[in-house]
Amino acid sequence: MEYPTESIKNVVESFSKLPGIGKKTALRLTLYLIQRASHEVDSLANALLALHKNTFRCKNCNNLSDREICNICSDNSRDNGIICVVEEIGDLLAIEKTNTFKGRYHVLGGRISPLEGVGPNQLSINKLLERILNENVQEVILALSTTQEGDTTAFYLSKEILSVNPNILISHIAKGIPSGASLEYTDELTLSRSLIYRSQYSVISPSKT
Amino acid sequence: MFYYSHIELSFFRGFENLKLELPNDFILIYGNNGSGKTNFLEAINLLSLTKSFRPVTDKELTHWNQDFYFVHAEIKNHPLLTKISCNYLKNKGKKIFHNDNPIQKFSTHIGLLPCVSLTPDDSDIIKDSAKRRKWFNLLFSQGDKEYLNTLQKYENALQQRNILLKSEKPFKELEPWTYQLCLYGKILLHKRKLYFEKLFKIYSQIHEALGAWDVSKFLYAPNCDYENINQAITHYEKHLKTDYLYGFTTIGAHKDNVQFLIDDQPLKHFGSQGQQKTFIINLKLAEYEFLSNHQKAPILLLDDVFEKLDKQRIAVIAEFLHSHQKGQILVTHPQFLDFHFKHFRLQIQNHQIIL
C-alpha cells in the first residue's frame, strides 16, 4: 500500500510488528496519533524511550524492575524460604494478583522445547540453583504450565534442584478443574487427573500460604 | 445408530453440485468407471475422519479449476451431532464444523463418527509396515480417545527428543523426554496388546464363518516390551549410543509392528493374490465388529470390494454383511448387483445421480 508520507510509513510498519496488530490497525493508530496534540505524542514517545532505558531484569529473580533488585526481592516482609518458579513475567503478575503467595519468585524466561530451539541453557536455571544454595530455601513451588513442555521443564528442574540440595521440598501447583466450571464440560484428562489428585475435604477452608 | 441422512457436495472431486438423501440401509452405488462412485465414498470418509482414504492433498480434492470444496451432511440418531461440514479454501486450509460451529482441533473429531473403509489400496498394509502402523493407530484412536491423546503426546516427545539427538545435546537434556517416551509408550503397549488380542479373536471367528481354507493370523510385535518404567529407561539408555549415531530414537512404540502370517509364513511373500484379498476383507470386517463393540457402530464403506470375486464368494460376503449390519453400509460396484435382501440402490453417471 502507498502511504502519504515516509514518516507515516515508518510508524505503520513499526506498529504492525507488535503482536496482535496488523497493517490496518497500525494505520488507524498512526492516523489517530497525527490528529492528537503534539505534546501528547511527545509524552508517548518519551514513555517508550524510558521503557527500555529504565527497565532492568532483576539480578536475583529475573523479574522486571526499575532497579537492579526488584521490589519483591528487596521486600523484607516476604518469606525467604520458599521460591515459586514461573515461566514468564506474566505468570508472576498473575500469581501476585491473587495475594496469596508471600514468598519469592524466580522467572525462568520460557520452558524447555527443542522444537522451538529452547534448551536449559536459554533459561535462567543456573541462577535458580545458585539461589537455592545460598538463600536457605526450604521449598520450591513449580508453577509451570500443564503442557508436555511444562512437564519436561518440571522434570528437568526437579532433578537439577535435588542434585544441589537433596533435602529440599519440591511441589507443583495443583492441576484440576477451574473454579466456577461444571464437571460436565471439563475435558476427560483434567477430570481424571483431579480425581487421582483429590484432596481431603475440610469444613473450614484451608488458609495455608 | 447414527447415519448420514443428507449429503451435499460442492466442487468436491468431479461433483459440481450434488444433493442427496440417504436411508439408514444397505446402499449399493453402481455406475461406470470414472462416474464418481469412489469420490462419493471419499466424501463420507472425509466427514468421518477428516481425510480421504487415499493419500491426496486437499487441493487435489477440489473440482478442477476451483479453489475450494464444500462437503456437508446431516446426521440422524447421533447423541451430539446433527450437522457436519468440512470446507476447504485454498490458502485458508480446511475447517470442520460441528452443528455449524468450527472445531479447533481435528483430533477431537476422530471417533465421533466412526468409519471403516475397504478400498483396493488397502492391500498396501500387507507390504508396507509404515502404512500398517498408520492403519492400527487410526483404528484404535477411533475406538479409544485416550489412545489418541497418548499417541499424540508420545509423538511430540519423540520429535523433541530427536532434535536433541541430532544436535548431540547431553544425556541430561534427553532424560525428561526419554521418561515421557517410556511413560506414554507403556500405555500404548498395554492398549495395543489388549486391542490386537480382541481384534484377532473377532477376526478368527469371521475367517471361519466365511469359509476359511487356510490358517491366517496376525501377531503384534512390540519393538520393546517391558513391565515397568524403570526397565524401559534402562533399555533406552542401552540404545543411547545408536540413537546418537543415527540422530533419532531407534527404539520404542513408534517402531511397533504387527505381522500378518499365513500358515505361519509371512503373508506378503507366501500368500496368493486371492489369499491376500480375503485376508484384507476379513480384517476389515473384524475392524467393523471391533469398533461396534467399542464405540457406536461405524459407517462401513466398501469400494470395489466385489471386483474379481466369484459369484458364490460375493453371496457369502453379502450375506455376512446383511446379518451383521449395524448401521449404514455403502458399497460400490461397476455393475448392478442383485442381493436377495432389502437394500437401496443408487445409479451414478458422470457425477450425477440417476433417479
Chain A neighbors of B169, CB-CB under 8 A: 114, 119
Report whether pLDDT(A209) > 60: no
Instruction: Specify the pLDDT at position B313.
Output: 86
Task: Say if CB A139 and CB A169 are below 8 A apart.
Answer: yes
One-letter amino acid identity for A150?
G
Selecting from 3.40.630.10, 3.40.1360.10, 3.40.50.1970, 3.40.640.10, what CATH number does the domain A82-196 have?
3.40.1360.10
Smallest Cα distance from A127 to chain B, Å: 18
Cα(B176)–Cα(A81) distance, rounded to whole angstroms? 27
Is B148 part of the contact surface with chain A (CB cutoff 8 Å)? no
Closest chain B residue to the Cα of A115, Cα to Cα: B160
One-letter amino acid identity for A36?
R
User: Per-residue pLDDT tens for B148-192?
Assistant: 999 999 999 999 999 999 988 888 899 999 999 999 999 999 999
Chain B neighbors of A159, CB-CB under 8 A: 172, 175
Q: Tell me whether residues A189 and B149 touch, CB distance under 8 A.
A: yes
**Of the candidates B92, B248, B77, B287, which has an alpha carbon nearest to the alpha carbon of residue B168?**
B248
Smallest Cα distance from B246 to chain A, Å: 18
Q: Tell me whether residues B176 and A155 touch, CB distance under 8 A.
A: yes
Instruction: Specify the pLDDT at position A81.
Output: 92
Mean pLDDT calculated for residue range A111-140: 92
Closest chain B residue to the Cα of A189, Cα to Cα: B146
Chain A from 118 to 147: CB within 8 A of any B CB? 119-120
What cell was used for B191? 492398549
* Model confidence, pTM: 0.84
Q: Residue-wise over B70-96: b if at least 16 C-beta within 10 A, else e? A: bbbbbbeebeebeebbbbbeeeeeeeb
Report whether pLDDT(A88) > 50: yes
User: Per-residue pLDDT tens for A152-191?
Assistant: 999 999 999 999 999 999 999 988 888 888 888 888 778 8
Quick one: angle between helices B145-166 and B171-209, nearest 10? 140
Q: Tell me whether residues A152 and B173 touch, CB distance under 8 A.
A: no
Strand ordering across the sheet containing A139-143: A104-107, A82-86, A139-143, A169-172
Task: Say if CB A110 and CB A123 are below 8 A apart.
Answer: yes
Instruction: Specify the pLDDT at position A4.
Output: 87
The list of chain B residues with pLDDT below 70 reads none
- Option in A115, A120, A189 nearest B160 (CB): A115
Q: Tell me whether residues B169 and A112 touch, CB distance under 8 A.
A: no
Query: What are the domain boundaries of chain A?
Result: 6-54, 82-196
Cα(A97)–Cα(A104) distance, rounded to whole angstroms? 14
Query: A33: phi > 0 → left, psi -120 to 50 → alpha, else beta; which?
Result: alpha
A 10 A CB-CB count for B290 gives: 24
Which SS3 state, helix, strand or coil, does residue B29 take? strand
List the domains of chain B with CATH numbers. Answer: 1-114+338-355 (3.40.50.300), 115-295 (1.20.1050.90)
User: Per-residue pLDDT tens for B75-119?
Assistant: 999 999 999 999 999 888 999 999 999 999 999 999 999 999 999
Quick one: CA dihedral B229, B232, B236, B237, positive or negative?
positive
Run of H or E including B49: helix B37-49
Q: What ipTM describes this predicted complex?
A: 0.73
User: Domain A6-54, CATH 1.10.8.420 — does that match?
Assistant: yes
Mean pLDDT of chain A: 90
**Of the candidates B14, B113, B9, B22, which has an alpha carbon nearest to the alpha carbon of residue B71?**
B9
Q: Tell me whether residues B175 and A151 touch, CB distance under 8 A.
A: no
Closest chain B residue to the Cα of A120, Cα to Cα: B173
In this prediction, what percent of chain B has a pLDDT beyond 70?
100
Run of H or E including B12: strand B3-12
Q: Spell out the residues 6+ positions from residue A188 whose beta carbon is closer than 8 angstroms to its own.
A: B145, B146
Is B248 part of the contact surface with chain A (CB cutoff 8 Å)? no
Q: Any idea which residue has 480446511 for its cell?
A: B94
pLDDT band at A205 (very low <50, low <70, confident <90, very high): low
Instruction: Specify the pLDDT at position A207.
Output: 56
Rounded (to 5) percent helix, strand, coil in chain A: 45, 10, 40
What cell was used for A63? 523479574
Chain A neighbors of B163, CB-CB under 8 A: 114-115
Query: B93: phi > 0 → left, psi -120 to 50 → alpha, else beta; which?
Result: left
